[in-house]
Amino acid sequence: MLNTSELVKKLVEKYGKQRSSLLPVLQGVVEEQRYLSEDALVEVAKQMDIPPADVYGTATFYSFLDTVPRGKNIIRVCKTISCDLVGKDAIVKALEKVLKIKVGETTHDGQFSLLYTNCIGWCHKGPAMLINDEPYTELTPQKAIEIVENYIEKSKN
């Protein structure tokens, strides 16, 4: 695994130093390191010649760019009005109960983080959630629990 400086250098070489490359560079860091550390943000600013405040502002604006460590499996529940109207709150309560955490927290074993996110593009089949990059739609509390229990089983193997 590359250290942060080497990783950022590789990403900047791939995407370029122009400001429009900031998002792909940040996404690349998250993909490799699972979140954007303060060191990573500073390194991106330095190597791209962008003010650190601008890099930080971009990183904290997008909900998929984590600036704190998250679990191995990140559950993002859509919080838009469309999902809210069809039962998002019941899904969240069920997930909090099975995972024994609240929204915004990570399980003690580091396997799961439970987060809200804005639209994930499945409003027509809500309530919806993503686990890592996998969408799950037309959820019921029981269906959400079963999906997470499958991930729990996989993590034991």
Domain ranges of the chain: 4-61, 73-156
Burial readout 1-34 (b: 16 or more C-beta within 10 A, e: otherwise)? eeebeebbeebbeebeeeeebbeebbbbbbeebe
* The pLDDT value given to residue 119: 85
Decide if 117 contacts 126 (C-beta within 8 A).
no
* The pLDDT value given to residue 123: 85
d(CA 106, CA 41): 22
- pTM summary value: 0.83
> SS3 of 87, please?
coil
* The pLDDT value given to residue 42: 96
pLDDT less than 50: residues of the chain: none
Decide if 77 contacts 116 (C-beta within 8 A).
yes
- CATH architecture, range 73-156: 3-Layer(aba) Sandwich (3.40)
d(CA 57, CA 104): 20
* The pLDDT value given to residue 3: 92
* The pLDDT value given to residue 73: 94
* The pLDDT value given to residue 154: 85
151 DSSP β-pair partners? none
Distances (CA, A) of 147 to 1, 10, 99, 118, 125: 31, 36, 12, 21, 16
Nearest by Cα to 107 from 145, 74, 129, 135: 74
